[in-house]
């Protein structure tokens, strides 16, 4: 019976991702972010419980990646598609023309071709997850930015725009080239070979986990003082700290 407990949490991750998709396709990005974060919460505990209950299995590994593909692969691609579309003027705001903001009508559905760039995140996430499943080295560290971390970064954008709106934020997140550039950078980070430390604790002692404890403390403080704006700062900090501590990552 206990071997099914981690898979139940994985199923809850997948279910949360499905609900997030319903929100994302209706451009309700705050609701999508809420269910994505809930899914990532379940994603953390399925692996944690599998290790604690000693019921790790290949089935669990594959199921976990499939759930992550929905919650942390499809949803951020949809959100980036929506953000780019909004930056171009919104769905249905433009008639078909030869400009960057053209929309294409097909079987009753309007598609903005340039906004499809956002789905590069989905493709890069799928590739990252597939590589992770066959890489036996990534037990205590990651090669490239983890898919959930990249998802949190992308989902933070509409949260910042909604809850911490300012002219500067609006201009930046409404800039088509910034969004496309961020999409390309996130795809590169997902599949880079840079070693990034994992927040996995084999022991609770401070000395071997000093970097993890200090990073978590700094992240909490940043979130308290800067709220959602802190998320991109935390992700950038995570990458920089990992780069400066490369020799100790194994």
Structure tokens at 96: 């078909």
Q: Does residue 24 lie within any of the structural domains?
A: yes
Query: What was the pLDDT predicted at 48?
Result: 74
The answer to whether residue 173 is domain-embedded is: yes
Summarised one tens digit per residue, pLDDT across range 199-232 is: 876 667 777 778 889 999 999 999 999 999 999 9
Comparing CA positions, the residue from 206, 209, 215 lying closest to residue 238 is: 215
**Residue 25, domain member (yes or no):** yes
Query: What is the tens place of the pLDDT at every residue in 123-152?
Result: 999 999 999 888 877 667 889 999 999 999
- Evaluate whether residue 219 is within a structural domain: no
CA dihedral sign, ordered 81, 163, 23, 105: negative
Alpha-carbon distance of 219 to 228, in angstroms, equals 11
Nearest to 118 by CA among 51, 194, 27: 27
Query: C-alpha angle with apex 70: 66 to 74, nearest 5 degrees?
Result: 135
Alpha helices in the chain (DSSP H): 5-24, 29-53, 58-69, 75-87, 120-134, 147-163, 167-173, 176-190, 210-226, 230-244
Q: Which residue has the higher pLDDT, 168 or 89?
A: 168
Q: Is residue 218 part of a domain?
A: no
pLDDT of amino acid 244: 87
- In 3D space, the residue among 141, 144, 152, 147 whose CA is nearest the CA of residue 123 turns out to be 147
Q: Which domain holds residue 9?
A: 2-141+152-193
What pTM, to 2 d.p., does this model score?
A: 0.89
Q: How many domains does the chain have?
A: 1
CA distance 71 to 39: 7
Task: Tell whether 42 is covered by a domain.
Answer: yes
Q: Which residues of 231-246 are buried (b: 16+ CB within 10 A; e: fewer)?
A: bbebbeebbebbeeee
Give the model confidence (pLDDT) of 26-57 as tens digits.
Answer: 999 999 999 999 999 999 888 777 777 777 77
Answer whether residue 32 is part of any domain. Answer: yes
Contact 77, 118 (CB under 8 A): yes
Q: State residue 134's pLDDT score.
A: 85
The predicted pLDDT at position 95 comes to 38
Query: Which tokens belong to 101?
Result: 């903001």
pLDDT band at 116 (very low <50, low <70, confident <90, very high): very high
In a domain, 105, yes or no: yes
Here the CATH number for the domain that contains residue 46 is 1.20.120
| CA 129 to chain CA centroid, nearest Å | 12
How much is the average pLDDT of 155-160? 97
More confident residue, 90 or 189: 189
Among residues 183, 169, 33, the alpha carbon closest in space to that of 114 is found at 183
């Amino acid at each position: 019976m206990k071997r099914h407990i981690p898979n139940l949490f994985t199923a809850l991750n997948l279910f949360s991702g499905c609900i997030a998709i319903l929100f994302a396709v209706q451009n309700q990005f705050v609701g999508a972010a809420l269910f994505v974060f809930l899914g990532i919460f379940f994603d953390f505990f399925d692996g944690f419980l599998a290790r604690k209950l000693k019921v790790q299995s290949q089935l669990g590994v594959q199921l976990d990646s499939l759930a992550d593909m929905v919650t942390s692969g499809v949803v951020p691609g949809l959100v980036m598609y929506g953000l780019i579309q909004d930056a171009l003027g919104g769905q249905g705001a433009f008639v078909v023309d030869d400009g960057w903001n053209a929309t294409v009508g097909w079987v009753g559905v309007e598609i903005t071709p340039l906004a499809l760039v956002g789905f590069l995140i989905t493709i890069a996430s799928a590739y990252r997850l597939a590589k992770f499943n066959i890489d036996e080295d990534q037990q205590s560290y990651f090669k490239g930015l983890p898919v959930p971390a990249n998802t949190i970064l992308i989902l933070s954008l509409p949260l910042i725009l909604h809850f911490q709106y300012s002219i500067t934020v609006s201009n930046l997140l409404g800039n088509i080239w910034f969004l496309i550039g961020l999409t390309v950078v996130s795809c590169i980070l997902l599949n880079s070979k840079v070693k990034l430390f994992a927040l996995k604790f084999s022991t609770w002692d401070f000395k071997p986990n000093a970097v993890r404890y200090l990073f978590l403390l700094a992240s909490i403080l940043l979130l308290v003082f800067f709220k959602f704006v802190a998320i991109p700062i935390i992700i950038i900090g995570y990458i920089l700290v990992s780069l400066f501590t490369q020799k100790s990552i194994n």
